[in-house]
Structure 1
Amino acid sequence: MDSYETSFTGKILERGFWLYVWRISSSEKTVWYVGRTGDNSSANAASPFGRLSQHLDLRPSAQANMLAKNLRASGMTPGECEYDLLTLGPIFPEQSNFEDHKPYRDIVGKLEAELAYTLSQRGMVVLGKHPKRGDFDKNLFTEALSKVNAFIKNG
């Protein structure tokens, strides 16, 4: 019988607009995955914890498991990897309607794209597709990148 430990703060249960960065390692390689919460088609902005469970849903019928799909596509087996997750937020609270939701979704989406681009420019293997890069909030990006740099350094 094997045993494993996981610990996290309850703060990652809060719904809203978050950025997150995964470091995923196997015996052969380390890859990165940058994501965000805040749906494209509804006013939902899940918690990072909710996305964590969706991302790693290994059922064949799973729909929102982009991390697992990207790992498999890169030749990695999700059940044989080590995972580290950094969550940043909530940057903005969840909104009650889609019209109010869209501006915040777009702000966080641009941060996600810029962060993924920045990591890939450093030679890091960043899995997945990201929103189109464009004008982004430089103050929020600087703060996020500082935290990501510390995460990378301490890993």
Structure 2
Amino acid sequence: MQEIGTFRISLPSQILRRGFWLYVWRVVRDQSPDLLYVGRTGDNSSPNASPPYIRMGQHLGSIKNQNALRQHLCKRGITPEDCQSFELVAHGPIYPEVVKPENFSHSDSVTKARLMKMHRPIRDIVGAMEKRLAGELRSAGYDVLNSVKWQYDVPEIDWLPVRQAFAADFPKLGGTI
């Protein structure tokens, strides 16, 4: 029989801000090392950059193209509902979302193409940060569930402050390179 409980989640209002964020899920399990999942906001197919709180429910939900964290856990034979807790460490917005016209419609292909032209370079930098964060966490000895494949690199000057921010929660990263 399932245990009935009362639970509380507190969200800082800043996590509601749209833009390009990096985040790390820490999956805490009884008697087992923590697992990490690295992600970012900033869509590949639209000029949207949602806040991380939107990704929270999606990652553990049932929609197949949105629930990457759930899928990675299940591949390891781990039922998310059996985990002790999930902690989200989010950093951002590193860059703001591309400003859209007030009456923007995704069916307006001309405006969407213009917005994507502004969106892609930022998305590519944040995608490179996502890849680097996952790789450095793994190299530091953390068990990272996902591999991030991204063809672009991030300049050191952009990367170091982000790395420093995550090192506060993941001390094996160290404070500096």
Q: 1:74, 1:124 → 2: CA distance?
A: 16
Q: 1:45, 1:129 → 2: CA distance?
A: 21
Q: 2:116, 2:152 → 1: CA distance?
A: 22
Q: 2:35, 2:59 → 1: CA distance?
A: 15
Q: What is residue 20 of structure 1 aligned with on the other side?
A: 23
AA aligned opposite 2:162:
A
Q: What is residue 116 of structure 1 aligned with on the other side?
A: 134
- Aligned residue among 13, 32, 50 for 1:10: 13
AA aligned opposite 2:169:
F
Runs of 4+ in structure 1 off by over 3 angstroms are: none
Unaligned runs of at least 5 residues, structure 1: none
Q: 1:46, 1:131 → 2: CA distance?
A: 21
Q: Percent identity?
A: 38
Task: After superposing the two structures, state which structure 1 stretch, 108-117 or 26-35, moved more.
Answer: 26-35
Q: Is the 8 A contact 2:129 2:159 kept in 1?
A: yes
Q: 1:79, 1:120 → 2: CA distance?
A: 25
Give the drift of 1:140: 2.7
Structure with higher RCO (Cα < 8 A, 6+ apart): 1
- TM-score, normalised relative to structure 2: 0.80
Which one has a bigger Cα radius of gyration?
A: 2
Task: After superposing the two structures, state which structure 1 stretch, 126-135 or 108-117, moved more.
Answer: 126-135
Q: What is residue 72 of structure 2 aligned with on the other side?
A: 70
Q: What count of residue pairs does the alignment treat as equivalent?
A: 151
AA aligned opposite 1:78:
P
